[in-house]
Amino acid sequence: MRLAGPEARSIALPMLRLKHDLEPGRAIFGEFIEPCGSGAPARECSSGTSSETRTGVSAPHESTSAKQRIDEVVVSYFSKPNSYTTDEIVEISAHGSPVVLRHIVELALGRGARLAEPGEFTMRAFLNGRIDLTQAEAVQDLIESQTLYQAKIAAQQLEGALSRRLQPIKQNLIELIALLEAGIDFAEDDVSVIPAAQILEHISAIRAPLDELALSFAYGKIVHEGLTLAIVGRPNVGKSSLFNRLVERERAIVTATPGTTRDLVTETVSIEGIPVRLVDTAGIRQALDEAESIGIQKSMEALADADLVLVVLDASQPTTTEDERLMTLIKDRPAILVENKSDLRDSRIPSAVLATSPVGTKFVSPRSQAWVGERETSSLVGTSHEHASVPVTLSTSALTGDGIPNLRATILNHVVGDAGSHSESGFLTNARHQSLVRDSLTALDAAQTAVGNRVPHEMLLLDLYSALRPLDEITGATTTDDILNLIFSKFCIGK
C-alpha cells in the first residue's frame, strides 16, 4: 500500500511498530498493528501514544497485547521531493493476503487517507514535473507488457528515450520560429529577413528526423501491439498441427477428418519478445454444410484482418485449384508459404517429378510468376524482408518438427524487417504519438508550400506553430485536461 501526501507519515505511523525510525530511502522491518488494540474500527480509536505518533517505534515498557499484530511488514519512506510523485510517500509491503491488504487500506482510510484514482500517482508525478507525458505513458506500457522485450522498450521510454529524440527537433523548430519572429518584430531595427532558401533548408533539417520517427511506428506498433498471423489453407494440410507446434502445446484440436476446425482458435506466442497472435482458421474449401460455411467465412475475415498470412500446402499432394484460389486471395499480402508434411513428400511424389518441378516453381505468384524456392529461403531469413511481392516458401513437418525453427525465424524476419535501424530506441510505439508526429509533418508541408508561395512571414509562422503544438502534446508541455484524462483513465487503480 502506498500513501502519498503531507500526512502520509502521520497516518501510517500509529499503525506500525517498527524496528527503527523511518529514514528516507530505507526499508524498515516491522509489524502492522491495530492502532488501538481490540480490533475496533480505526476511526473510533485515538491515534496512539504521543511517542508512536512521532516515530512509530513502541516504547519498551508497553504491553504488546494491547496492540494486535496484523502482519509483518516492510515499510519504505521517501521524503519530498525524492519520491515517485515528489510528495512524502510511505509504502507498506505486507505478505499479500487480500484480506490483510484490504484491512490495511481500510485502516488507512479510517485515519483520513483516500483511495487513489486510476493512475493518480503517475499523474501526480507528471503534474509535479518529475516525468513528462511520454514517460507517464511508458509506465502504462510497462505494466501492460506481455513480453520482456516489450518491457525493455517501455523502460527505455520511461527513461526518456523518445523525449530525448524529440527535443532537438523541437529546439530546431523553435529556433526557426524565433528567427522569423525577430525578423517581424524588429523589421525596422536592422534584423535582416532570412532568405527563402535558408528557411527551406531549416525546415528540411527539422523534417528529416521527424520523418524517420514517423517511419519507426511501423516497427514500434508491432513491438507494442504484436502482430496477427492467420494460418490458412485447405482442410487437412496440417494448419492446426503447425499452430500447435508454434504454440508449443496442444491447443488446437487436430483430427484426421477434413473440415473439423470450424471456429477460429487464437493464441498469442512470444517470438523473440514480439507477441504474435496466431489464428488457426477453418480449412478453406467449398463448404459441405452450413457450420463449415460459417467457419470458412470467419477464416476469410481472419485472413483479411491479419498482418501476415501463413498459407499451408500439403507437400505430399499435388497443388489443387483450391490452393491456387487461396494464393490468388493472398495476392499482394505479406505472406509466407509453407509446404507442410515434408516427411511424406519423398514417399508420395516420385523423385523424377520433384526434380523437374522444384518447390520454387510450381506455384505462380501474381507478381514474380514464381514463388521463391525453398533453396532461397535461408538467404532471406535474417535479411531485410520485402512485403508481399515474393512470398517466402518453407518446408515443414508439423509431425517431426522439421523446419519449425526456420518458420519461426521467417515470421520474426517479417515482423522485424530492418529493425536494426530502430534498435537505438526512441521509436514511436504509441498511436497517439504517431498521429501527432503526422500532424506536425503536415504543418511543415504547409510551411514549405507557404515559403514557395512567398507568403508573408506572419502567415508562415502560423504553420510553424501548428507544427510545434503537436510535438508539445507528445511530451506534455501544452496538454489539455481531456488528453490527460484519456491517458490516465486507462491505468489500473493506484498506479
Q: Which residues bind ligand GDP (CB under 6 A)?
A: 233, 235-241, 254-256, 261, 283, 340-341, 343-344, 397-399
Grid cell at residue 121 = 500517482
**Which CB sits closer to ligand GDP, 165 or 285?**
285
Q: Tell whether omega for the bond before 81 is within 30 degrees of 0, i.e. cis.
A: yes
Q: Which is nearer to ligand GDP, 172 or 260 (CB)?
A: 260
What is the arrangement of strands in the sheet containing 274-280, beginning at the earlier edge strand? 265-271, 274-280, 227-232, 308-314, 335-340, 392-395
For helices 161-185 and 133-144, give the axis angle rounded to 10 degrees.
160
Q: Residue 464 is inside which H or E element, if any?
A: helix 457-475
Would you say 151 and 145 are in contact if contact means Cβ atoms under 8 Å apart?
yes
3-state secondary structure of 73: strand
Angstrom CA distances, 216 to 168, 222, 258, 420, stand at 17, 10, 43, 11
Strand-pairing partners, residue 231, are: 280, 310
Q: Which is nearer to ligand GDP, 155 or 404 (CB)?
A: 404
Toward ligand GDP, which CB reaches closer, 399 or 446?
Answer: 399
Report the C-alpha gap between 276 and 211 in whole angstroms.
Answer: 27
Residue by residue, what is the 3-state secondary structure of 224-263? HHCEEEEEECCCCCCHHHHHHHHHCCCCCCCCCCCCCCCC
Smallest separation, CB 398 to ligand GDP (Å) = 4
Residue appearing with cell numbers 525578423:
183
C-alpha cell at position 421: 535501424
255 vs 320 by CB, closer to ligand GDP: 255
Closest to ligand GDP by CB, 17 vs 262, is 262
Closest-approach residue to ligand GDP (CB): 238
Residue 235 or 417: the one with the smaller Cβ distance to ligand GDP is 235
Q: Which residues pair with 187 in a beta bridge?
A: none
From the CB of 232, what's the least distance to ligand GDP, in Å?
Answer: 9
Measure Cα distances from 168 to 157, 165, 200, 462, 480 in Å.
Answer: 16, 7, 18, 21, 23
Strands 26-33 and 16-18: antiparallel
Nearest distance, CB of residue 156 and ligand GDP, angstroms: 40
Closest CB to ligand GDP among residues 292, 343: 343
**Comparison of 58 and 377: residue with beta carbon closer to ligand GDP:** 377
Nearest-approach distance from CB 272 to ligand GDP, in angstroms: 24
> What minimum distance in Å lies between the beta carbon of 392 and ligand GDP?
18
- Pairing mode of beta strands 335-340, 392-395: parallel
Sheet holding 26-33, edge to edge: 2-4, 89-93, 69-78, 26-33, 16-18
Instruction: Return the number of the residue (301 or 346) whose C-beta is nearest ligand GDP.
Output: 346
Q: Please state the closest distance from residue 286 (CB atom) to ligand GDP, in A.
A: 15
Q: Minimum distance from CB of 317 to ligand GDP (Å)?
A: 11
At 104, the amino acid letter reads: I
DSSP 330: T
Consecutive H or E run containing 452: helix 431-452
CB of 240 to ligand GDP, least distance (A): 3
3-state secondary structure of 41: coil
Contact 31, 73 (CB under 8 A): yes
State in angstroms the smallest separation of the CB of 246 from ligand GDP.
12
Closest distance to ligand GDP from the beta carbon of 266 (Å): 14
**What's the closest the beta carbon of residue 394 comes to ligand GDP, in angstroms?**
12
Closer of 135 and 241 to ligand GDP (Cβ) = 241
Q: Between 75 and 237, whose beta carbon lies closer to ligand GDP?
A: 237
Q: Please report how close the Cβ of residue 275 comes to ligand GDP at its closest, in angstroms.
A: 23
Give the burial class of 80: count Cβ atoms within 10 A of its Cβ; 0-12 exposed, 13-18 middle, 19 or more buried: middle
